[in-house]
């Protein structure tokens, strides 16, 4: 099934951000969205999630879909432990025994088993974002929205989070819409990479990346060539 965005319109005062915008998102794939700062990438995620309302247009395929959202910043509850932050969103969904299995599984998958009783202020920025990623995947959603979740992190932390995310995604092949400003990140992660232009937003080009993720590297000529093309588009 495909999520179809049709005739999307959104304006702020006299500024048209989206005007008859169209996009298709493939189910059970990772779709990356690239574009210049301020072009409406986060606004698009916020409309998909229902945080803000579009002025016009439709989202076909969203009916009865459960959506989870991973923001740029961790947004954890400081008064709850790593375990407690994940449990908080699951307590009304699963019984205690099943809930504990799920929490243990995801905490271990992001490498935080030894830190399950720590509180967010005791964790580094990268560790807090690991908790956020685990929490997002632990929640039984159909669609996961990710708004530059690795932004501002140093290279080592970013790399570890990157691979933690891939490991989690391979478990359930969830539909992911991933906003980023990092071309390499998009090429290494995405099944499809949309390149957006300035407002009112238009799709400049969509790249389909068929290479298996485990074989991807920015040393591959195919990805190097796509990166060069994206640079030209964004100039």
Per residue in 129-171, pLDDT (tens digit) is 889 989 998 999 999 999 988 887 778 778 877 888 888 899 8
Q: In which band, very low, low, confident or very high, does the pLDDT at 13 lie, cut at 50, 70 and 90?
A: confident
Per residue in 40-79, pLDDT (tens digit) is 899 999 999 999 999 999 999 888 899 999 988 888 999 9
CATH class of 1-65+142-151+168-226: alpha beta
CA angle 197, 199, 201 (to 5 degrees): 60
The structure tokens listed for 166 are 């891939």
Per residue in 117-129, pLDDT (tens digit) is 999 999 998 889 8
pLDDT at position 1 over 70 = no
pLDDT of residue 63: 87
Closest CA to 185 of 140, 144, 230: 230
Cα distance from N-terminal residue to C-terminal residue, the chain = 34
pLDDT at position 189 over 90 = yes
For the segment 74-99, the average pLDDT, to the nearest whole number, is 93
Q: Are strands 143-147 and 2-12 parallel, antiparallel or unpaired?
A: unpaired
Backbone angles phi, psi at 70, to 5 degrees: -110, 115
User: Exposed (0-12), middle (13-18) or buried (19+): which is 82, by Cβ within 10 Å?
Assistant: buried
Domain boundaries, the chain: 1-65+142-151+168-226, 74-141
Which has the minimum average pLDDT: 46-50, 106-110, 118-122, 187-191? 106-110
Length of the chain: 235
Closest CA to 149 of 72, 76, 75, 44: 72
């Amino acid at each position: 099934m495909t999520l179809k965005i049709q005739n999307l319109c959104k304006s702020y005062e006299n500024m048209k951000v989206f005007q008859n915008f169209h996009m298709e998102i493939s189910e059970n794939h990772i779709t990356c969205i690239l574009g210049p700062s301020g072009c409406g990438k986060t606004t698009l995620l916020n409309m998909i999630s229902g945080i803000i309302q579009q002025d016009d247009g439709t989202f076909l395929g969203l009916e009865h879909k459960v959506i989870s959202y991973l923001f740029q910043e961790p947004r954890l509850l400081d008064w709850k432990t790593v375990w407690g932050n994940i449990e908080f969103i699951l307590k009304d969904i699963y019984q205690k025994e099943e809930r504990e299995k799920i929490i243990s599984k995801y905490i271990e998958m992001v490498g935080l088993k030894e830190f399950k009783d720590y509180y967010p202020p005791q964790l580094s920025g990268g560790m807090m974002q690991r908790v956020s990623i685990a929490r997002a995947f632990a929640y039984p959603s159909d669609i996961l929205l990710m708004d530059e979740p690795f932004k501002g992190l140093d290279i080592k932390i970013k790399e570890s989070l990157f691979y933690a995310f891939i490991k989690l995604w391979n478990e359930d092949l969830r539909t992911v819409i991933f906003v980023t400003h990092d071309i390499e990140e998009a090429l290494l992660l995405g099944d499809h990479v949309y390149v957006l232009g300035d407002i009112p937003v238009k799709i400049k080009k969509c790249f389909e990346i068929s290479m298996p993720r485990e074989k991807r590297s920015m040393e591959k000529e195919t990805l190097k060539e796509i990166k060069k093309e994206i640079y030209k588009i964004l100039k």
